Structure formats: structure tokens, C-alpha cells
Amino acid sequence: MPELPEVETVVRGLREPLIGRRILSMWQDWAATIHSPSPAEFEARIAGQAVRHIRRRGKYILIELDHDTLVIHLKMSGRLYVAQAAAEHDADRWVHVRFDLDNGEQLRFSDLRKFGRVYLTDDVAGLLAHLGPEPLSADFTLAGFRAGMQGRKRAIKALLLEQEFIAGIGNIYADEALFRARIHPATSVRRLSDDDTQRLHQTIRDALQAGIEREGASINWYRKPDGQKGESQDYFFVYGRTGLPCRNCGAAINKIRVAQRGTHFCPECQPLKK
């Protein structure tokens, strides 16, 4: 599933071809992708609105229009790209939502697994009120991070995946941040020291920023809007490197399951606290 760095890369790649363009019409062939409002109301409301700005909140893409905001969650296999109406692309076979633009181009949402969701709302704050702080913003303070951990007993990896706790972190960057902080992913939150917490607060930022700089990780479905792959996967410390030597100590990277998710770590650099 695309995480914060991948979604941020998509947002940056869509700004140039979309901002200033007017949406003429919408087409869809999988109504379940349209979360709200109904497909008929969605099509009627969005027609004629121009794109004013594009930003991100957690893993959500926010395309701000004249009166509403087009909100898109890519989920597992979603891809967004702009193409000439007559142009054909490999991902077109899975396009389930399409927006026709005033310059003869289209914004296409391709989603093989059909888990992605599209919303049109005039209340973004209400729609996304459940999300925690943005980890790369000033709202993500060490004091708030520590306060949010108080009374928690679950594994730290599981907590990092909770979007209500921190917005935008998923399986990949949770593993990478925990390695950088030298914390075993199955460590109970209540066993983390103040130093552990301080390191992790910083390494969350570091891991996400590194992902953005390398334009995301193209492990499965993710591609940038121009169709190219990101490069983050070539620089991971632990994720996807089961059995390979740790870049720090040489020990074999292990894989276990935490919170029902495949989880990668170095047994030497990240010993489990008893």
C-alpha cells in the first residue's frame, strides 16, 4: 500500500498537469470505488469545477476544487496519472474512474484490486477528523508523541500503524524507522525508555523524508504519475531484505509477524527488550 512518501510523490507529480485545469465530466464503471456522495450526485457536482490546489493528508490525496475537494485513497493498488484522452497506457485496463479535463487530457484512477476510494466533500476536516498528526509537521511534537504512548501495552510496530496515532505511516516505513531507532518491532510500548522514544520520534521523520527524497518505493503496484518507479526500495535497511546481511552489522535480516503484518528487523541491532 502506498504510504506517506509515495502519496506525497504522487501529489507533487500531479500539480503541474492539473492545477488550473477544469473538470468537464466524470466516468466510472465500479460504483463501490465512489465512497460518497452517490455516483450521480458526484458527477453532477464535480462537472465545471477547476483544480485550485493539490495536497496530502496522511495517505489521502486532496485535490481542492472551486467548491469541493476531490479526496482519493489509493489503498493497495491504486495509481493516478494524467494522459491525453486518446493515449493508451498499460494501467488503463484497471481504470475504474476517469475525469475529463478542459485541455483534452484525463485524470485516470487505475486500481486492479478495486480497494481504492474516491470522495467529493465540502468538509475535508470532518472526513479526515480521525487522523493523527502529520509526522513531518510541527504538530508532531516529542511531547505529544510521548503522551500518546502513555498507558499503551501493545507492540510498538502495531501502534505506529494506527492512523489515529500518526497519519501516513504503514508497514514499510514503520520497519525502517524502528531499525534506525534500534528498537525491536515487537517491543511493548510500555518498555520503551525516554531515550528510545526520543530516537524513534526523530527516525520516523528521517525514514519518511528519505522515502520522499527517493520518490517512494516501487515494490508492487506503486508508480509515480509519470509511470516511472521510485527508488526507495534500493536503499531500505530492513524492509524486504529477509536473509540478506544487515547494512550495519552483517547479521541476517529476520522476518516475523507483528499485528498480522510481515515485519523485518535485525536481531543484532534491534534486540528485544525482556
Which residues share a beta bridge with 12? none
Q: Which of 39, 261, 267, 268 is flagged as catalytic?
A: 261
Which residues share a beta bridge with 63? 54, 70
Known active-site residue 2: yes
Give the C-alpha distances (Å, rounded to integers) separating 124 from 63, 69, 86, 227, 245. 11, 7, 33, 28, 44
Q: Which of 56, 59, 79, 241 is flagged as catalytic?
A: 59
Helix (H) / strand (E) element for 88: namely: none
Angstrom distance (rounded) from CA 250 to CA 237: 11
246 contacts 252 by C-beta, under 8 angstroms: yes
The amino acid that residue 243 corresponds to is: G
Known active-site residue 135: no
At 80, list the grid cell.
493516478
Where does the chain show beta strands of DSSP type E? 23-28, 34-36, 51-57, 60-65, 69-73, 78-84, 95-101, 105-111, 117-121, 254-258, 261-265
Known active-site residue 59: yes
Angstrom distance (rounded) from CA 31 to CA 258: 34
Residues 6+ apart with CB under 8 A from 86: none
Give the C-alpha distances (Å, rounded to integers) separating 38 from 44, 74, 86. 10, 19, 28
**Which residues carry out catalysis?**
2-3, 59, 261
